[in-house]
Structure formats: C-alpha cells, structure tokens
Amino acid sequence: MMKTNVPSSSSAMVYAVSDACTDTQLVSIWLAGKSKTSQNTYASHIKQFLEYVGKPLKELKLEDMQLWVSSLENSQRYKTATLKLKINTVKSLLTFGQKVGYLQFNIGSAVKPPNPKNELSSRMLSETEVTTLIEKANQNQRDRIILKLMYVCGMRVSEVVGLNWRDLVPNNNGGLAIVLGKGGKTRVVLIPEKLWLDIQQLPKTDDAVFISRKKNRISRKTVHYMIKQYAKQAGINGNVSPHWLRHSHATHSIERGCNLHLLQQSLGHSNLSITSRYLHARPNEGSSQFIQDI
C-alpha cells in the first residue's frame, strides 16, 4: 500500500497552480480553496482513497475508483450521505487536477455517487422535545443561548462557536448576526428580540461570544457533548447532534408556513433542492390531509 502524504488544513501549503508536480502539492492547492471547517474532512477522504488505490493519481484507471467505491459500499460502515460525500470529494479533486493540467484524464467523471435517502425524519425533534431539551439548560445561560441559536435561528454549530461580538448588530428590537457559513460564504441571520436580549446578558469579551471556563472560544466538540447530555436528561432517544436542531428549525418553519425561498436564504443553502428535502421530512404527512374526505 502506497504511503500517502495528504496535508491537513493546518499544514496546507499554497502553490501556484503551475508548480503542482506531486499529488501532495495538488491536494494542497485544492484544499486551499475550501473552507477551513471542511478542509480536515476533505483531506481525510482523499487520504483514505489514495491509501486504498496505492498508486499516484496520474496512474489511476477507472477500475481503481470503481473498486474503491465498491469497497465503501460493501463495508456497510457508512450511511448513503457519507458515501456520497466521500465519492464527491475525490471527484472534485480529480476534476480540479484535470482543469489545471496536472491530470490528462478525469476518471471520476464516469463515477456516479449514490443518491442519499431522505433520513431527515429520523434526525429531527418535535416542538415538545425541543422545548424540553432547552429547558434542561435553564441553569446555564451560555448553553441555553447556544441551543436557541441553533434551533430558533437555524445556525450551524460551526457558525455559533465562530460568533464574535463584532458580528452582532442591533436591528429594531432584535438583532442580526453576520455568520461565516459553508464555502466561506457570509450571510445575515435574524435574531428575535427575546433571544437578542438574552445574548446581551452574556459576559463581554474582546472576541468570541461563547467562551469556555478557561476563557477560550468554545469548541464544536464541547457543543456536541453538551447537547448529548441535555438530550439524555430530556429522555430523547437517538444520537442527537447539534444539526438535529437545525433540521428541526427547517421542518417546523415549513410546517408553520415559511416560504421555501426564505428558508433557503436563512439557512444559507446554495441550492433550493437542499432546502426542499424538508418538504418530505414527515413521512406520515401529505397534502391529502388538507382535502375533505369523500
């Protein structure tokens, strides 16, 4: 098996495109164009792929990638959405490699990733569960506000932990948060009055809104652990994660009549088709419920 040297986000070196003469350099250039929150994940997928095929990118054949995809599917270790991410990550690198002239052929163009099943219905909470979950954090002001930002505002965990005081702007009786989302894109998130007032009660720092006991910026790992503990206390089953609150925000918003385009804008989805998944998140509900029985 070939020894693979894939740079992590912390060690990624930016080369001029014309200087890419090794796989490592190509990956470095490619990673440099990705958001910092995604670089480690992408680097891990590329490393896994290169270790499996055991040869340089320039020597790859279509069969190599097809065998790798089959090995992922046969392992039964990954959900469909994870498989799609791994395959699309490699396809993106190969497309980039051909575009800059490093690769003569793009074998990835002939490989189609599986379509993920709509698993949202099993990864969201009812309004009652959300209320119970947040109530369990009533004794911790910071934690309660973090949970509310992810549910009430639909923010990603990375966006919440990355919030700085300078990103918060008063707006009428409430406020606005300027967040850095996926792909390094910024968007403006509306914060309702009650939640805005709660945020203003937090201890002020020069930078991060949410800090740890050691006065450092709180980490995503801490928030993941935090929500699992509160979910356990609330008697909620399942591998609850921060993203469940974002899923719940989207579904509950649609149920209460939110326009799909407005939801797309609020969540920062690059494509309306991503937002549209929430229209099908309730498998036991349909438009027939609104038609008089005859």
d(CA 71, CA 117): 20
CB-based burial of residue 178 (10 Å sphere; 0-12 exposed, 13-18 middle, 19+ buried)?
Answer: middle
* Whole-number Cα distances in Å, 123 to 68, 119, 120, 163, 236: 29, 7, 5, 25, 11
Q: Could you say which DSSP state residue 188 is in?
A: E
Q: Enumerate the β-bridge partners of residue 168.
A: 177
Q: Catalytic residues, which ones?
A: 156, 182, 243, 246, 269, 278
Amino acid identity of residue 109, one-letter, is S
Q: Which two tokens stand for residue 94?
A: 């190969």
d(CA 205, CA 219): 16
